[in-house]
């Protein structure tokens, strides 16, 4: 007899939303202006948008200390306490309503404990008394953060007005409209992937998360101005994944697989030594074996892998096969890795 029992425990409802956000695009472009990010996609439109900004907005951009390098637009962090993805004005009003301590706490991705933030807001000059962190591990960074804290109200007003001005820019609005179809295509691609929300978030980010929670909300947001990067913002209840849409996600995944296979070929001491030897001269198998102190059979195996990866060229002179490093291909692989990361 079949038996089934319902323990009455309801599974938590998880909401998944895919949105194209003008707020995210404005914040990503702001990140480019203050030097937090550098990419060709934001650079293409930045000059035209910058030309429309007021002198006050440009002053904020100029005065922001570039030594505070967070790797992405710091204002994206405010999407967690202020989840207004479609309304820049509502987003800015939400930021403005935060206390100074809450503002700084979110600005730095909750990296600094809130009690410590509260103390620093009251006494910015006390920062050197605290244990060194990655945020202030140099004198330059320490001075920059103290200046930010001391001039917090100026930066708060400046950033808020800067976001509003970017959104009001005619060039920015035209760019949004021009990129809309691209973003929608990216959203459809991500939506078509049949995975549980957490697994999908990890797939889009291209890595497994070390820190997870029982998220109640997942937001997947394509962004032209964040391309080709991917950013995860999260707390205990919400996970936001922002992914570049200028390059299709499928292309990114395919590229990662290709680079993975190339790196696997390089991830061997003997093969690296072979490439080093063959970079300046051509050699035959027995000579390579003598140089490395391994058998010719092992050399043949390594050479076959290097040839398949296109990193080594083979040339036959008489009855002897000579091998040399394809320097152009090696440079190409290294450049692709740099560009991908």
Instruction: CATH number for 252-340: choose from 3.40.50.2000, 3.40.50.360, 1.10.10.10, 1.20.1070.10.
Output: 1.10.10.10
Report the pLDDT value the prediction gives residue 8, as an integer from 0 to 100.
Answer: 53
Please determine, for residue 267, whether its predicted confidence score (pLDDT) is greater than 80: yes
State percent of the chain over pLDDT 90: 54
Report the pLDDT value the prediction gives residue 333, as an integer from 0 to 100.
Answer: 85
pLDDT in tens, 172-188: 999 999 999 999 999 99
Pick the closest to residue 163 from 18, 29, 328 (CA basis).
Answer: 29
Distance CA 125, CA 147 (A): 9
**pTM, whole model, 2 decimals?**
0.72
Pick the closest to residue 245 from 171, 315, 189 (CA basis).
Answer: 189
Mean pLDDT on 74-90: 94
pLDDT in tens, 151-169: 999 999 999 999 999 999 9
Residue spans of the domains in the chain: they are: 15-247, 252-340
Distance CA 204, CA 207 (A): 8
The whole-chain average pLDDT of the chain stands at: 88
Distance CA 262, CA 44 (A): 31
pLDDT in tens, 17-49: 999 999 999 999 998 888 766 778 888 888 999
Omega of the bond prior to 228 within 30 degrees of 0, cis? yes
| H or E stretch covering 188 | helix 170-191
Report the pLDDT value the prediction gives residue 41, as an integer from 0 to 100.
Answer: 83
3-class DSSP state for residue 222?
strand
Distance CA 265, CA 53 (A): 50
Distance CA 299, CA 302 (A): 5
Pick the closest to residue 200 from 13, 11, 16, 12 (CA basis).
Answer: 16
């Amino acid at each position: 007899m079949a038996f089934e029992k319902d323990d009455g425990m309801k599974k938590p409802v998880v909401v998944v939303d895919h949105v194209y956000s003008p707020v995210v695009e404005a914040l990503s472009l702001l990140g480019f202006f203050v030097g937090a990010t550098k990419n060709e996609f934001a650079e293409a439109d930045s000059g035209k948008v910058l030309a429309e900004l007021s002198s006050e907005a440009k002053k904020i951009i100029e005065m922001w200390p570039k030594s505070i390098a967070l790797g992405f637009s710091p204002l994206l962090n405010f999407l967690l306490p202020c989840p207004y993805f479609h309304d820049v004005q509502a987003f800015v009003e939400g930021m403005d309503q935060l206390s100074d301590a809450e503002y700084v706490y979110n600005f730095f991705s909750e990296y600094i404990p809130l009690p410590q933030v509260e103390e620093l807001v009251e006494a910015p000059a006390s920062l050197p008394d605290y244990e060194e962190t990655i945020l202030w591990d140099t004198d330059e960074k320490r001075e920059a953060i103290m200046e930010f804290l001391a001039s917090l109200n100026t930066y708060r007003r400046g950033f808020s007005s800067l976001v509003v001005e970017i959104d009001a820019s005619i060039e920015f609005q035209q760019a949004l409209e021009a990129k809309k179809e691209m973003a929608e295509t990216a959203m459809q691609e991500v939506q078509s992937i049949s995975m549980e929300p957490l697994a999908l978030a990890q797939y889009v980010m291209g890595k497994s998360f070390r820190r997870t929670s029982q998220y109640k909300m997942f937001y997947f947001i394509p962004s032209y101005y964040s391309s080709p990067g991917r950013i995860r913002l999260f707390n205990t209840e919400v996970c936001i994944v922002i992914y570049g849409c200028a390059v299709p996600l499928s292309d990114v995944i395919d590229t990662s697989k290709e680079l993975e296979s190339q790196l696997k070929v390089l991830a061997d001491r003997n093969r690296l030594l072979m490439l080093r030897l063959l970079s300046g001269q051509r050699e035959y198998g027995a000579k390579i074996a003598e140089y490395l102190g391994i058998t010719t059979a092992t050399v043949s195996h390594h050479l076959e892998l290097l040839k398949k990866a296109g990193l080594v060229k083979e040339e036959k002179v008489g009855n002897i096969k000579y091998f040399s490093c394809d320097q152009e291909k090696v440079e190409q692989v290294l450049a692709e890795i740099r560009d991908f990361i």
